[in-house]
Structure 1
Amino acid sequence: MEQLARLEDLPQTYIDHLTQSNLVPLWPSLRNVLPPKQPVPLTKATAWHYRDIKPLLLEAGELTPIEKAERRVLVLANPGHGLENMKATSSIYLGMQLLLPNEWAPSHRHTPNAVRLVVEGKGAFTTVEGQKCIMEHGDLILTPSGLWHEHGHDGDEPVIWLDVLDLPLVYYMEASYVEGGDVQQVQGTDLGHHYAKGVVPTVHFVRQNANFPLLRYAWTDTKNVLDALAADANHQAPAQVSFINPETGQDCQNIIGYSAIRVAPNETVQLTRRSAAQIFHVIEGQLSITVNSDHFDLARSDTACASCFAQIDLINRSEQPAYVFVADEAPLQKKLGLYSTRPRSV
């Protein structure tokens, strides 16, 4: 494509008249908003190491009581978007949250969807619309848009989890807000025991919000399925599972998609180039990740991100399997008709 005229090619008096009328010429910026052939992402391949995060998060627990913080979180910010914007990708927010023994993060609800991926510790729980979800390592807890939720801690050690929200997108749409609430009355525990492979409750079973029949996805169950896939000689690699609504088969949330991958010992998983940016968090094991020309060595509880259409390799050089939690923007892109894949480069 030929070079378009630049803003500085226009007379200053003309630019001044445009500005006074709240007008902007498109052509000098056309290639920025419509780049040729593929997007030019601001999202930068980045890794956040848990060894750096944990001591600072524990120090935050000493510096700021939960009553003054409401949610004690360190945001995993992507430098490509500017740290002050608190984005991991254009649509995904990440935060490491700390809850200490006997603390209570008060009940509230908000428009962004959120999930919690438990990183470390025992004894905490999340109550969502009266359903108490225990929080154990690797568990995925949903707190969907508009549902009341709070966090409590009956144990004796710090509990840390990874928050994943679609906050950047909801904020961009000027739809982001929160409401405070009272302590919830627990009506039952999470309903994961109602679901099994190929079996869901019949129609007489009705939740208050039928869009989210399952709020806690236990890591022990997810890991068992991944191991079974890896042991199945007929299953094509990679061993990957998606977190879905068990009653509809759709993604468990509307905007961000969630999955988990098992990378076998001495295995390299080459992922498809996708239009959706992706987040990777190591639940167990260790591995290296290559994002285009960037390379990161990740240990347990480390997190990394990759931009759209990146060429990604997950490399496990150890003698133990690695298990990786993945968040991506695919559900929203598919709803908007924007999702696509591309062949890997040679």
Structure 2
Amino acid sequence: MDTRQQLYRDMDPHNLTPLWEVLHALVPPRPNTPCIPALWKYDEVRPFLLRAGAAITAEEAVRRVLILENPKLRGQSAATQSLYAGLQLILPGEIAPSHRHTQSALRFIVEGSGAWTAVDGERTTMRPGDFIITPSWTWHDHGSEADGPVVWLDGLDIPMVRFFDAGFAQNSVGRSQQVARPEGTSFSRFGHNMAPVRHEAPYGATSPIFSYPYERSREALEQLERQAPVDEWDGVKLRYVNPLTGGSPMPTMATFLQKLPKGFSGKPWRQTDGAVYSVVEGSGEVLITHGGEEWRYAFGPRDHFVVPSWHTARLASGPGCVLFSFSDRPVHQALGIHTEERLS
């Protein structure tokens, strides 16, 4: 028998394996994610959300969510290898019961107004385009006083926390938490480029503002479009920040809002952080290429798509559009492994 093969056979019962057989897979010449691009058209997804609303209550489900699974990660509840994305539905009069968990979460409101979310005793009303944070290990519940369905995008670092085997969760004994502070208190304290003279970060490494209204964010994009040069790759793009640090709103996820002007035809780019996009308004197209393959998606309001790690993407829009996105960039940056290329 071949000496090398005999070595492999003899050491296998001792839970040993030769590095040289797997080295190129462990340390590849370039990022090689198993994920592929994917698009979820809202007009196709919405009927299933409404059917879920008829099939199970928000209280029974705890969180009535349809997970946006990457086609190559089916069964893993993941949009990328580190990010979870799903669309959550709440109907008039419902309450999604209070709980907390170590996973950080974001909500980006897709449809409907009049629902609310509460974080550690403070409520905020949900409106389309609002970006709302649920910091790690904070009590949170959702309810609705709206006349119709309210839907939002859930983004969590579930796969990342699962990788570190660091997930904990706890359910509240009450159906919903008691409101202890008036709505808007967090924004009043930290949302005006100012902070109380004496304070502690209420949510640790997470932003003390847990609700970023779309109206203010969109106004900033419009002013920049009028007053500053349009970036050839991103159009007009801003990142949400933690006002106490200037960094990302959450330690594991970065969030962005960008406006592609009318007639925009962007240049290609790629980055190591995979990103999930939600189309806020308008329409456009994304072209994604990787390893000789090509994906071209036309998108409209409330559609969602994912651009995996190190896939080359370029955005275009005839009428103009606004896009929200989130990625795992803060972790890449903290580890010193983030890479981005802006191609011509």
TM-score (norm 1): 0.91
* Secondary structure of 1:270 counterpart: coil
Paired with 1:15 and 1:113, the residues of 2 have a C-alpha distance of 43
TM-aligned CA distance change 1:206 to 1:337, over 3 Å:
closer
1:51 and 2:43 correspond = yes
Unaligned 5+ segments in structure 2 are none
TM-aligned CA distance change 1:235 to 1:247, over 3 Å:
farther
Moved more, 321-330 or 203-212: 203-212
Given residue 22 of structure 1, which amino acid in structure 2 is its aligned partner?
N
Paired with 1:316 and 1:223, the residues of 2 have a C-alpha distance of 17
Give the CA deviation at 1:210.
5.7
Give the CA deviation at 1:233.
4.1
Give the CA deviation at 1:272.
3.5
1:322 and 2:283 correspond = no
Match of 2:299 in 1: 298
Match of 2:134 in 1: 143
* 1:133 equivalent among 112, 124, 140: 124
Give the CA deviation at 1:200.
1.1
Match of 1:84 in 2: 75
Given residue 333 of structure 2, which amino acid in structure 1 is its aligned partner?
K
1:172 and 2:167 correspond = no
Identity fraction in percent:
29
Kept in 2, the 8 Å contact 1:309–1:342? The answer is no
1:115-172: CA deviation from partner (whole Å, max 9, x where unpaired): 0000001211110001101110010110011111110111221110000001001011
Give the CA deviation at 1:294.
1.2
Paired with 1:77 and 1:56, the residues of 2 have a C-alpha distance of 15
1:158-212: CA deviation from partner (whole Å, max 9, x where unpaired): 1100000010010111111210013311122133244555x31231455643643
Match of 2:222 in 1: 227
Paired with 2:201 and 2:342, the residues of 1 have a C-alpha distance of 42
Given residue 333 of structure 1, which amino acid in structure 2 is its aligned partner?
H
Paired with 2:270 and 2:3, the residues of 1 have a C-alpha distance of 39
Given residue 306 of structure 1, which amino acid in structure 2 is its aligned partner?
V
Kept in 1, the 8 Å contact 2:190–2:196? The answer is no
Kept in 2, the 8 Å contact 1:125–1:135? The answer is yes
Kept in 2, the 8 Å contact 1:77–1:88? The answer is yes
Match of 1:262 in 2: 259
Match of 2:18 in 1: 25
Kept in 1, the 8 Å contact 2:120–2:139? The answer is yes
Give the CA deviation at 1:236.
4.7
Match of 1:124 in 2: 115
Give the CA deviation at 1:343.
4.4
* Secondary structure of 1:67 counterpart: helix
Aligned positions, number: 332
1:213 and 2:208 correspond = yes
Paired with 2:128 and 2:38, the residues of 1 have a C-alpha distance of 24
Paired with 1:179 and 1:91, the residues of 2 have a C-alpha distance of 22
Give the CA deviation at 1:300.
0.5
Q: CA RMSD in A?
A: 1.9
* 1:189 equivalent among 179, 183, 194: 183
Paired with 1:10 and 1:86, the residues of 2 have a C-alpha distance of 40
* 1:202 equivalent among 176, 196, 201: 196
Given residue 108 of structure 1, which amino acid in structure 2 is its aligned partner?
H
1:206-241: CA deviation from partner (whole Å, max 9, x where unpaired): 564364310000001111000111011456552111
Give the CA deviation at 1:40.
0.9
Paired with 1:210 and 1:114, the residues of 2 have a C-alpha distance of 14
TM-score (norm 2): 0.91
* Secondary structure of 1:202 counterpart: coil
Unaligned 5+ segments in structure 1 are 1-7
TM-aligned CA distance change 1:128 to 1:30, over 3 Å:
same
1:38-72: CA deviation from partner (whole Å, max 9, x where unpaired): 11111201111111111001101111122321111
Match of 1:5 in 2: none
Match of 2:341 in 1: 342
Given residue 209 of structure 1, which amino acid in structure 2 is its aligned partner?
Y
1:62-91: CA deviation from partner (whole Å, max 9, x where unpaired): 1112232111110000012x2101111111
Paired with 2:299 and 2:286, the residues of 1 have a C-alpha distance of 7
Moved more, 54-63 or 182-191: 182-191
1:234-277: CA deviation from partner (whole Å, max 9, x where unpaired): 56552111111112211100111101110011112335322211
TM-aligned CA distance change 1:271 to 1:255, over 3 Å:
farther
1:331 and 2:330 correspond = yes
1:266-320: CA deviation from partner (whole Å, max 9, x where unpaired): 11233532221111110111110111121101111111111222221111022xx
Kept in 1, the 8 Å contact 2:191–2:209? The answer is no
TM-aligned CA distance change 1:196 to 1:66, over 3 Å:
closer
Given residue 313 of structure 1, which amino acid in structure 2 is its aligned partner?
R
1:247 and 2:244 correspond = yes
